[in-house]
Amino acid sequence: MRDGGAGRALAIGQGAFYLATGVWPLLDEASFEAVTGPKREPWLVKTVGVLVAAIGATLAAAGVRRSITPEVAALGAVTAAGIAVVEGWYAGRRRRISPIYLADAAFEAALAAAWGIALARRGGTDERRARRRRGGA
């Protein structure tokens, strides 16, 4: 999936979203909490924000450079799936965080699914495509 296509659009879109949501609590903690609810550990929110922004920058850069490797696709898919599970569990099942996180969990699950579809349409990983070209399984 090194060329453009759906993977490129996903990487740029998810990257931009993660950059924006990652830096938001760093720039304006009050507005972030107004939307997402009060936080017990502001330092933890900021730490997660830095990590999400770093992932976003990586995804966006890969998309702009048209270099969507299997590792980049995995970063996008696994991050989105992980966030979806955590938010779904703590907002839905445990009710420990604001219900607004359920909306983000649904969005994150859609991102993870979109990465799966993009990979399937591209024929899987670069290694599998190379094996098919050589006549292997």
Determine the pLDDT at residue 121: 86
- Domain of residue 17 covers 6-123
Determine the pLDDT at residue 125: 54
Residue 130 within a domain: no
Please count the structural domains in the chain: 1
- pLDDT at 12 > cutoff 80: yes
Residue 46 within a domain: yes
Q: Are 83 and 111 in contact (CB under 8 A)?
A: no
Q: Residue 71: how many CB atoms within 10 A of its CB?
A: 11
Residue type, 45: V
Share of the chain above pLDDT 90, in %: 80
Residue 137 within a domain: no
Residue 132 within a domain: no
Residue 134 within a domain: no
Residue 129 within a domain: no
- pLDDT at 1 > cutoff 70: no
Give the 3-state secondary structure of residue 81: helix
Q: pTM, whole model, 2 decimals?
A: 0.86
Give me the numbers of helices (H) and strands (E) for the chain, helices first please.
Answer: 6, 0
